[in-house]
Chains A and B, each alone.
Chain A
Amino acid sequence: MANKNDDTLTSDVTNRLNDFFGTNSQSDTSPNDKSKAGSQEYLLTELNAILLSIEWEITDEILKGLSAEIERLKEICRDDKILFSFLQLHGSVGKYLSSKKVTAHPDSIKLLHSIYDGLEKVVKSPAMSKAEKRLVLTAEVNKFKALKKQILLSKKEASRRMTIKSSETLTPPAQDDKISAQESETKINSQDLAVIIEEIKKIIKAEFKALREELKLMNS
């Protein structure tokens, strides 16, 4: 009996839903349906899949996959300076993500997708002139630079806040505790120093990399 009632209710609901959505609610073809992938586009399939995976979760496994895929593509595209530069950009953002993981700047993921879109645009348009391709690349390089600047600024700000905080916490030592206070001060200073040295190293490294990329672009 209960089953019979269930059946009536289910069929009532189904009828109501058919009325609401229309019985022929089966799919339609989206006007935005993408065209079939060409052989060059196929080249980027794995990279695209990896980038989508990063959207869900940033794990060592996925980042290793990204790095390996970029290296593979670099090998294939080494004669095409524009494609190679796109892949270098991907590689740089990938390395940044590997070191920062979930604490990475939110826009870094966006940038990865933006670089991919640029790369795909170039790959998909064999008729595109070299100058046009370079323009697409330059736009991505500029986005990369802007993000780098943003990250450096926020790092500097964080480091400045840390310095203020540590100087605030360093109260003048009492006469009896002079030695231990000096020790702790030395400890904090050496920690700060290590952070600063690390930051400077990273900045110099990043600047050199950007310069090399620019030089390559100018030469190409």
Chain B
Amino acid sequence: MALINPKKKEVQLKLVYYGPGRGGKTSNLQYIYKKFQDRIKGKLTTIKTYGDRTLFFDFLPLDIGMVKGYHIKIQFYTVPGQVKYKATRRLVLRGVDGVIFVADSMALRRKMNIVSLKDLQENLATFDKSIFKIPLVLQYNKRDLAKEGIRLLPVETMENDLNKHLKVPSFDASALTGVNIVETMKKAISLTVASLQEKLELKG
């Protein structure tokens, strides 16, 4: 849940990158961090405990400055995609204000995307949050693999699989080349801040 400090005129948000393992959640944050390192005051912290995979989480604090008289600070997290780490995924979702679901465009990952989205829905429900109400953005990552000859799911199929009922903003992206990585983040931030409109007015 967003921390709003009316005295300090400060808002702290928590956004989580969610999705199947090796889908590119960490790569999203790494791209942002590398590209805007000069503007990002905090550091990207990655806790790695198992080979080169993220088994706990990545954390990136981002201070975007003033909006409507409020100082907006955002904390980005990624969650581990591996099935057996469901407990950690749930923990990272505690107090989440917005979600970026990073789906893998590889044809072989179709089922995993669906499983992971279902997992998100279940985990949000444990915190009395609905996947239909929370600010959510979908990202269809790894579109660049098409030129490598790897079979990708058509965007229409991914929309049908994942976004048919949610009807949330979605982006084709590539964390490797940076296509739509910033756009995804921007959309998620603006949706999340907009969702706080009422609270900001009441406290302001």
Contact = CB atoms under 8 A, between A and B. Distances in A.
Interface of A: 2, 5-6, 9-10, 12-14, 16-21, 25-30, 32-34, 36-37, 41-42, 45, 48-50, 52-53, 55-57, 102, 106-107, 109-110
Interface residues of B, number: 49
Contact of A56 (B22, B68, B107): B22
Contacts of A33: 144, 176-177
A30 B177 contact: yes
Contact of B108 (A19, A34, A50): A50
Nearest to A25: B182
A81 to B, nearest CB: 26
- The prevalent SS among residues of A at the interface is helix
Interface string B120-147: 0000000000000000000000001001
A27 B180 contact: yes
Contact of A16 (B66, B144, B151, B179): B66
Contact of A9 (B50, B149, B181, B193): B193
Given A6-B197, A16-B65, A49 B186 contact: no
Contacts of B50: 106
Nearest to B116: A56
A206 B177 CA distance: 43
B189 A13 contact: yes
Contact of B22 (A2, A30, A32, A52): A52
11 contacts: A9-B194, A17-B189, A18-B186, A19-B65, A21-B182, A48-B150, A52-B108, A53-B106, A56-B23, A57-B83, A102-B84
B190 A10 contact: yes
B152 to A, nearest CB: 10
A55 B64 contact: no
Nearest to A27: B179
Interface of B: 20-23, 36, 39, 50-53, 64-68, 72, 81-84, 106-109, 112, 144, 147-151, 174, 176-183, 185-186, 189-190, 193-194, 197, 200-201
Contact of B190 (A17, A29, A42, A52): A17
Contacts of A42: 149
B193 A13 contact: yes
B183 A26 contact: yes
Contacts of B52: 110
Nearest to A14: B190
A72 to B, nearest CB: 16
A50 B109 CA distance: 10
Given A26-B183, A30-B178, A106-B51, 12 more contacts: A6-B194, A10-B193, A12-B67, A12-B68, A18-B186, A20-B39, A21-B36, A25-B182, A25-B186, A36-B147, A45-B148, A110-B52
A109 B50 CA distance: 11
Contacts of A19: 65
Contacts of A34: 148
A32 B177 CA distance: 9
A41 B145 CA distance: 13
B35 to A, nearest CB: 8
B197 A17 contact: no
A50 B22 CA distance: 12
A57 B104 CA distance: 14
